[in-house]
Amino acid sequence: MNTEQARFNMIEQQIRPWDVLDAGVLSLLAMVRREDFVPPAYKAMAFVDCEVPLIENGQEAHDGQCMLAPRVEARLLQEAQVQRHERVLEIGAGSGFMAALLAHRAQSVITLECVPALAVMAATNLRRGGVLNASVREMDGARGLSGEAPFDVIMLSGSVPEVPQVLLDQLKLGGRLIAIVGQEPVMQAMRITRLSATNLKSEALFDTVAPRLLGFAEPSRFIF
């Protein structure tokens, strides 16, 4: 496989047509080697328009845990509007790829991962990629990281039924939380911005579907 041609095709045929037009984001996707964050068994899927399962030592690290499709990753990154002076919290490190992208645009990134094998994978990939301003914490991310809040950006790299208030409380003034919210068959990517101590602005960005992040409670369902 011609890796650079495959990367070019991914950007031009999958990502750009999905309204990812930020030149900085497109340049970053051309520079950060996505294939280095894909498990060896799935290298051939590094640039394919689909989710990539995450495995460790030939075994699934956890059912349903995967890298998001490239166009979804790119669109979420664009909508986060990360600036160089900002501190970012990511929930769901996975393979570390989104953390690497965020780290190239931010001052620092902390990424939380509750699956031990994935936390190791993410930390190893970031270290191998020379990403020095991103750190991985092995912990449940559903309650965020209040001890180091507030954050300029909180990125949820997976879907949740709803955004917990405890995460919104960890946003700085002007801070943005990016999440995929809802239930199958249709979910929405959302950007929630803190306008003041008591005022939040919610924007629906695009429709998509993504695997669940672990640790977030599903809403109660009534049975009649």
Say which residues have a Cβ less than 8 Å from residue 58's Cβ, sequence separation at least 6: 41
Q: In angstroms, how far is CA 68 from the centroid of its own chain? A: 8
**Which contacts of 146-152 are long-range, i.e. CB under 8 A and separated by 24 or more positions?**
146/170, 148/89, 148/110, 149/89, 150/175, 151/87, 151/88, 151/89, 151/175, 152/82, 152/83, 152/85, 152/86, 152/87, 152/88, 152/106, 152/176
DSSP track, 28-44: HHHHS-GGGGS-GGGGG
Q: Which pTM was predicted?
A: 0.93
Mean predicted confidence (pLDDT) in 60-84: 88
Residue 60 has pLDDT above 50, yes or no: no
Residue 222 has pLDDT above 80, yes or no: no
The domain limits of the chain are 3-208
CATH number of 3-208: 3.40.50.150
In this structure, what token pair is assigned to residue 112?
A: 């939380």
pLDDT for res 219: 76
pLDDT digits (tens, 9 = 90+) for 12-52: 999 999 999 999 999 999 999 999 999 998 999 999 999 99
Cα 217 to Cα 4, 54, 159, 212: the distances in Å are 41, 22, 12, 10
